[in-house]
Structure 1
Amino acid sequence: MTEARRPRPRFWPALALAWLLAVAALGAHQIGFWREARLDSDVMALLPGEGDDAQLQAANERIAGAATRQVVVLLGSEDWKRSRAAAEAFLAALAPQDQLLRPITGQDEALAAAVDFYAPHRRGLLTPTQREQLRGTAPEAWVEPALARLYGPGPGGGLGQWQDDPLGLWPDWWQARAGRGLQPRDGLLALEAEGKHWALLRFESRASAFRLDGERRLQDALDRAAAAAARSGGADIELLQGGVPLHAEAAAVQASREVNTIGLGSLLAVIALVWLAFRSPRPILLVSASLLIGCAAGVTATALVFGKVHLLTLVFGASLVGVAEDYGIHWFATRQGQPGVAPRSLMRQLLPGLFLALATSVLAYLALAIAPFPGLRQMALFSAAGLGAAFLTVVLWFPWLDRAAPRPSSFAAKVGASLAGWPRWRPTRAGLVLAALAAAFALGGLLRLQVNDDLRSLQSSPPALVGQEIRIGRLLGLPSPAQFFLVDAPDAEALLQAEEALTARLHALKAQGRLGGWRAVSDWLPSLARQRQDHALSQAAETAVLTRLGALLGEASPPAPPPAAHLAPDDWLAHPVSEPLRPLWLGPVQSQWGSVVMLEGLAVDGLDELEAAAAGLPGVRWIDRTARISDVLGHYRRMMSGLLVAGYAAVGLALFLRFRRQAWRALLPTALAALLTLAVLGWAGVPLQLFGVLAQLLLLGFGVDYGIFLLEHRDDPSSWLAVSLGAASTLLAFGLLALSATPALHGFGLSLGLGIALVWMLSPCFRPAPIAPASH
């Protein structure tokens, strides 16, 4: 039967129509998604969770959530009046921006409310120093100080009436819990440190900084307020600012810029290459349509599975433009070289190679999802769905929409003809010498290659903002969210007692200067056992002192102290006084109660001592999140390295099933490119990280495509044109990814871009010998 009479398959039009309906659904979802985009810019979302450790997962969520909307500003000078004037001008300038930042005020009222709340329980509240003094000092030693307070100026020389606190213990308990020198002054919180008077301003961010509009709303508002503060307080006013919203907004603005740079740059590069090769708007429009549908499918799939899309997923997904166009370019390159072949016949001819290329690329992307990194899983799903959608668009639509072959162009002809002049490697003397030199270069570089799994490779906040954050933490003694103690116990009372046992050990480290302090719920909510002991101790001392004072002053014996009023956890949690410490109180989590003890003024060289402080204490664990996550990064770098080896074996098997003894020609160029890329990193002193291994995994998926196309269409200039255009666009996409300010993405793009360039140059070198012309 001739080609003209061969029955046409009926499933192709039905599949094309079904894909049209699916694309229409994609478009509807995109309209709804971008109206109120659910975007995430928290870099910690890239990292794995804590698995089955419910207590630790709850602690991490509480610590992260506690400061999500807090913005802190410090204004300092050598004169308090100028600091106050600057702070007032700063607040006045931010007043019109109330929809962005709400000032947190009312410190005086909050302190008064806290004093009133704790007052009935004061006899059960002692500091460790007071406890030692009451146990080791005779009652006679307390009589004279008590008498001095009785006749001294003010209301008993302390908080409240003298008869409520004749020993003067109450003010010292409050002083021990005060911030690092923070005191209310002129309606502001004031601090003296580093030879300056500082005014502390705190704000709550009302608007989410996690937006992809490229605008610095919060930072611009703060910059205008800082200018007003400088005009009012003088040029020597020093301003420090920090907070999660500022880092989040900086990440969002950076991601917006990078999405535009990488995505738009890649798209323009692809358009330019397609125009140079085919000199027609139709290939540009159809290839751009396949890319647009691919990106939309990636966003939709990610949003449906994860509920939101990470900004770095969009940055990474923007590089998809440099990969997904391969199918369309390969179609038009072959169409240009074989204008007489019917479109659907041509697609059937190309389909095995295109499908094998898609399979290897998708498998490489999906391998990212093996690691329990939510961000990597998003990137994997985004890219795999995008590639699949672009592939279906080309396969199902192009034979219908592309009814005329592109005209030949001089650019396409020159690129296609260059394959004939490309050298083939042969085991001659010169070939063996070249192989030996390459092997020596690779071996030397691999021996010099170092690994680095430091979590800070994911840090991309502006250095100036990070520096200010560090100074604010040092001045205010803010706790570190990266290192803390996690405490658990069967009930609330046992939990508070476990905290008290821990803080007793921390007192010794603080006295040695190894620790600045800590934040623990038990400092503000002692256990019931501790309250009873302290109440009995203070009541006995107070009764003895009052008896002696009565005898000295010739008065009757004092009345019996009021009954003990112990503070219960439920009462404490229900009162606003507990609000600053509520994130540390995890409460019941599964079968255990949990809490967090955060540390202030950590010394980097003292972390081992802090870990030792938890030794032997039931239910107390030392958590170093930085070291913990770095260990996880190292673990998965090693695991993905093993998976990379397995991936080469699996791809090699798939190639063998298709090409038999010629399969090595498609795989060897990618393997050599991977080794040479790692060698270059070693010689350049660039350490290998998890993202570098992931780049090698993707290189396997992309690079093998070039060998597949060159074997499927041996010495075909059209196939070489498609490979060259695809490699150029992929190289541009990941080369632009190297411009990312995020270190991990920068190294990823640099490594993969170098690998793509090498595999493109090496693939033609391992082509089989040309087919000899048939003899007549």
Structure 2
Amino acid sequence: MSDRSERGPLWLPLLWLLVVAVLGWHQWQFWQSPRLDSDVFALLPQDEQQPAAQRAMKQLAEQGERRVVVMLGGADWERVRQAAQRFDHALQAQQAGLQPVQDVVPSDQVMSFYAPWRDVLLTDAQRAFLPLADASALAAQALGRLHGFSTGQPTTWQADPLGLWSSWWAERGGLTAARPRDGLLWVKESGAGREWAVLLYETQGSAFRFDGQRRWADALVHAESAARGDLGAGLTVLAAGVPLHAEAGAAQGNQEMNTIGWGSLLAVIALVLATFRAAGPMLLIAVSLVIGCAAGLSATVLVFGQVHLLTLVFGASLVGVAEDFGIHYFASRLGTPDQPRWALMRHLLPGLLLALATSVLGYLVLAVVPFPGLRQMALFSAVGLTAAFATAVCWFPWLDRGQLQDGRFAQSIASSLGHWPVLTRARLWIALVILAIVCAVGLARLQVNDDLRQLQSSPPALMRAQMAVGRLLQMPSPAQFFLVQGRTEDEVLSREEALKQALTSWQAQAPQPGGPIGVSAVSDWVPSRQRQDDNHALTQARETAVLQAVGSVVGEDLRRPAFATQALTVSQWLASPASSGLRAQWLGAQDEGFASVVLIRGLSQQTQAQALRELAPTLAGVQWVDRPNDISELMGRFRVTMTWLLGLGHGLVLLTLYLRFGRAAWRAWLPCALGSLVCVAVLGLLGEPFQLFNLLALMLLLGMGVDYGIFLLEHPGEQQAHAWLAVLLGAISTGLSFGLLALSSTPALRAFGLTLLIGLTLVCLLAPTMRLIHQTDKTERGNS
């Protein structure tokens, strides 16, 4: 071993040491302030054909990304008010990073802003009533208001003799359920006899503290206990908001990453110790795994700028795959203990490279689907697996010292191959017929599900609270809305008004299932120029006549005060307090004009959403955006596309194997193909829904499962026993890894893990039955 050629080139491990040092520095920098993301929509495809819709989704999400809403409800308002005060005091005492938000703009400020345009602000009912109203009746109404005038009116009598503005404000107030009361926001729940106090908080600091703690959620639970007092079960407390979902996702991600990552690592360590009975292989394989995960994380952060929590959870399963290179090396060392380390690595390198190529191909196919989350997972895994491979090739021959003991555990696994049946041609056809029957029954029961909710992993209690808060506050959905576009700002406002009129007509035609729906639009607060002109002409004519009639009765010359001569514009509205909480609905200038969002409240039935989808094309410049439904449809389309890609991938892998193994290539490929098909049938028999993520797992199974056949074909004859040892150890550790992934609370990851667990088990059972036996080596490998 003193011969330089046996030791290998020194520059290779030193170069890799430099790369690892850079990785270590980057990891230190990253974990000082980790850029993590748990937003489900960040996983979804970015539709480049609809940039306005993407911008709308982003603006609406940013509006509430730091807001937490707490609602306390009970039958008696006074007791609810006291409970709300106790809740707020207890929460502030904890200093948990939830600060109260004074979000209510004083009404006098808003009214002062609108006062110059009072004469152009009319409700639809007023616009329909005024042209037809009797002049004498209007004069009598105005005279009655003059004599019974209240100081609570929003303006002077002479500026609004018919009281039109009060009705306009009342209609605007109906756009939100919360009202000021006793220094709090108050909601009356109709039909239930309950009254609710609403508390608003804003988070301080990041939700992505990747330490497994739920500081905000725990603080809210403690404050709830303090608020209950003597109310007990009579008080209901609801908490909702994006930060709570993000914190729950971070805590869940931390738990799952630890469970999957450390669980896989401990399983690998236990297998290596039991097999090789030495600390050296265990430490070297652990080092390769750590370097692989670090490299995958660094590459993901450098390319995407941040990393999603589900990418970390998925990446933790890499532990169960990346150890295959190290296990194969040390298993071969057991079989050829006298062979020099570098000579052994050079002998193994073609097979290891082929296994790496097929596995990385399986991961990179994930990047074909335009899901940012899947692309992150693909990059993380492909780079991580390559780094683990490089660590084994560059360092293992240098750092591997001492002799390995071929213990009883390793001997029993290696010798078990001799008892494994090899399928002859007749047996193979019998096995294929049996598997075909199983597949026919399973595939007939298979159910397809492309629902977007399979990506959702928030706690059910938090989801129920979020839905209840949305219902009580009549909050519109930020994922289902109308996108209105036009060449000018005024055209957008006009098209909003046309949309609202169409919605009114649609609801008037027949009662809608699920109850009436409401809208929130910028044109509710800033009418179009044409509507302002029409309203101005209408109010000027009617109010001037009324003032003249009343003046003749009271013997005074009553004149209408001057109002703004210029129309109210969106830019003026955006710069005022009146637009607080609504600015996100105005998207402003786009590539070809302007755009806004019209939000929908009370949308509770799928039939309603379908009707709105059908309504949009009938109106100029109006588009219905239903993000959950659109993504579900997209996932269905990609499921079909990936089915064809999976078939193409099997063809390419078989061709690659043929270039290496000749006519024996089918022996490495067929176990994987049959395992994939039977796996789908088993999912059908288990009643598991089939979705895009099952299909992506099958693509990954192609990359990993074919490795088992490759290792067995690369080492025919006497070496095959220790190749089988490497295959079985790798399959067990990989199966444990993805088996733990099947425990994830995220349905998509659970489906992914379960598919790979079943598929890898089937491939591992089938691969040795199709291996080459020593007598046929020369025959079948002759064309390689």
Work out whether the TM-score is over 0.5: yes
Q: Which moved more, 1:746-755 or 1:564-573?
A: 564-573
Name the TM-score, length of structure 1 as normaliser: 0.96
Aligned to 1:753: 757
Aligned to 1:202: 200
Q: 1:211, CA displacement in angstroms?
A: 2.7
Q: 1:387, CA displacement in angstroms?
A: 0.6
Q: Distance in 1 between matches of 2:81 and 2:432?
A: 73
Aligned to 2:354: 356
**Does residue 70 of structure 2 align to residue 73 of structure 1?**
yes
Instruction: Indicate if the aligned counterparts of 1:85 and 1:232 stay in contact, CA closer than 8 A.
Output: no
Instruction: Indicate if the aligned counterparts of 2:587 and 2:597 stay in contact, CA closer than 8 A.
Output: yes
Write out per-residue CA displacement over residues 292-313 of structure 1, whole angstroms, 9 at most, x where no aligned residue. 1101100111111111111111
Cα pair distance change 1:11/1:334, threshold 3 Å:
closer
Write out per-residue CA displacement over residues 406-427 of structure 1, whole angstroms, 9 at most, x where no aligned residue. 1111100001000000011123
Q: 1:241, CA displacement in angstroms?
A: 1.4
Please tell me the root mean square deviation across aligned C-alpha atoms, in Å. 1.9
Aligned positions of 1:210-249 closer than 5 A? 210-231=208-229, 233-249=231-247
Instruction: Indicate if the aligned counterparts of 1:73 and 1:242 stay in contact, CA closer than 8 A.
Output: yes
Q: Distance in 1 between matches of 2:56 and 2:62?
A: 10
Aligned to 1:184: 180
Q: Which moved more, 1:134-143 or 1:26-35?
A: 134-143
Aligned to 2:556: 555
Aligned length: 768
Q: 1:580, CA displacement in angstroms?
A: 1.0
Aligned to 1:45: 42
Aligned positions of 1:443-592 closer than 5 A? 443-511=440-508, 514=512, 515-558=516-559, 561-562=562-563, 564=565, 566-592=567-593
Kindly provide the amino acid, as one letter, of the partner of residue 32 in structure 1: Q
Q: Distance in 1 between matches of 2:559 and 2:37?
A: 64
Matched residues, percent identical? Answer: 51
Instruction: Indicate if the aligned counterparts of 2:6 and 2:343 stay in contact, CA closer than 8 A.
Output: no
**Does residue 624 of structure 2 align to residue 622 of structure 1?**
yes
Q: Distance in 2 between matches of 1:661 and 1:762?
A: 19
The partner residue of 1:647 within 643, 646, 649 is 649
Q: Distance in 1 between matches of 2:777 and 2:369?
A: 51
Aligned to 1:437: 434
Aligned to 1:258: 256
Aligned to 1:170: 165
Aligned to 1:299: 297
Q: 1:92, CA displacement in angstroms?
A: 0.8
Aligned to 2:781: none
Aligned to 2:128: 132
Kindly provide the amino acid, as one letter, of the partner of residue 593 in structure 1: F
Q: 1:560, CA displacement in angstroms?
A: 6.0
Q: 1:562, CA displacement in angstroms?
A: 4.2
Q: Distance in 1 between matches of 2:199 and 2:507?
A: 28
Aligned to 2:599: 598
Instruction: Indicate if the aligned counterparts of 1:448 and 1:682 stay in contact, CA closer than 8 A.
Output: yes
Aligned positions of 1:363-402 closer than 5 A? 363-402=361-400
**Does residue 60 of structure 2 align to residue 63 of structure 1?**
yes
Instruction: Indicate if the aligned counterparts of 2:214 and 2:248 stay in contact, CA closer than 8 A.
Output: yes
Kindly provide the amino acid, as one letter, of the partner of residue 673 in structure 1: G
Q: Distance in 1 between matches of 2:712 and 2:638?
A: 34
Q: Distance in 1 between matches of 2:277 and 2:396?
A: 18
Aligned to 1:740: 744
Aligned to 1:119: 115
Q: 1:559, CA displacement in angstroms?
A: 5.1
Instruction: Indicate if the aligned counterparts of 2:149 and 2:157 stay in contact, CA closer than 8 A.
Output: no
Aligned to 1:8: 5
Instruction: Indicate if the aligned counterparts of 2:158 and 2:560 stay in contact, CA closer than 8 A.
Output: no
Aligned to 2:17: 20
Q: Distance in 1 between matches of 2:598 and 2:776?
A: 78
- 3-state secondary structure, aligned to 2:775: coil
**Does residue 661 of structure 2 align to residue 659 of structure 1?**
yes
Q: Distance in 2 between matches of 1:226 and 1:480?
A: 27
Q: Distance in 2 between matches of 1:617 and 1:445?
A: 47
Instruction: Indicate if the aligned counterparts of 2:68 and 2:201 stay in contact, CA closer than 8 A.
Output: yes
Q: Which moved more, 1:144-153 or 1:754-763?
A: 144-153
The partner residue of 2:636 within 634, 637, 640 is 634
Cα pair distance change 1:186/1:559, threshold 3 Å:
closer
Kindly provide the amino acid, as one letter, of the partner of residue 751 in structure 1: T
Q: Distance in 2 between matches of 1:500 and 1:438?
A: 62
Write out per-residue CA displacement over residues 372-422 of structure 1, whole angstroms, 9 at most, x where no aligned residue. 111111101100111111101111111111122311111000010000000
Q: Distance in 2 between matches of 1:570 and 1:11?
A: 71
Which blocks of at least 5 consecutive residues in structure 2 are unaligned?
Answer: 779-784
The partner residue of 1:318 within 312, 316, 319 is 316
Q: Distance in 1 between matches of 2:601 and 2:583?
A: 18
- 3-state secondary structure, aligned to 2:402: coil
Q: 1:53, CA displacement in angstroms?
A: 2.0
Q: Distance in 1 between matches of 2:337 and 2:552?
A: 119
Kindly provide the amino acid, as one letter, of the partner of residue 146 in structure 2: L
Name the TM-score, length of structure 2 as normaliser: 0.95
Q: 1:349, CA displacement in angstroms?
A: 1.0
Q: Distance in 2 between matches of 1:111 and 1:97?
A: 33
Write out per-residue CA displacement over residues 94-140 of structure 1, whole angstroms, 9 at most, x where no aligned residue. 22355611212262x53221111111211110110111111221222
Q: Which moved more, 1:473-482 or 1:411-420?
A: 473-482
Q: Distance in 2 between matches of 1:29 and 1:578?
A: 44
Q: Distance in 1 between matches of 2:62 and 2:176?
A: 24
Q: Distance in 1 between matches of 2:257 and 2:758?
A: 21
Q: Distance in 2 between matches of 1:593 and 1:766?
A: 64
Q: Which moved more, 1:11-20 or 1:335-344?
A: 11-20
Instruction: Indicate if the aligned counterparts of 2:27 and 2:298 stay in contact, CA closer than 8 A.
Output: yes
Q: 1:74, CA displacement in angstroms?
A: 1.1
Kindly provide the amino acid, as one letter, of the partner of residue 583 in structure 1: A
Kindly provide the amino acid, as one letter, of the partner of residue 593 in structure 2: Q
Aligned to 2:689: 687
Q: Distance in 2 between matches of 1:691 and 1:461?
A: 19
Cα pair distance change 1:338/1:319, threshold 3 Å:
same
Kindly provide the amino acid, as one letter, of the partner of residue 687 in structure 1: P
Aligned positions of 1:707-718 closer than 5 A? 707-715=709-717, 716-718=720-722
Cα pair distance change 1:586/1:356, threshold 3 Å:
same
Q: Distance in 1 between matches of 2:704 and 2:776?
A: 30
Aligned to 1:766: 770
The partner residue of 2:150 within 148, 154, 178 is 154
Instruction: Indicate if the aligned counterparts of 2:96 and 2:219 stay in contact, CA closer than 8 A.
Output: no
Write out per-residue CA displacement over residues 55-85 of structure 1, whole angstroms, 9 at most, x where no aligned residue. 1111111122111111111111110001101
- 3-state secondary structure, aligned to 2:618: coil
Q: 1:609, CA displacement in angstroms?
A: 2.3
Q: Distance in 1 between matches of 2:329 and 2:144?
A: 97
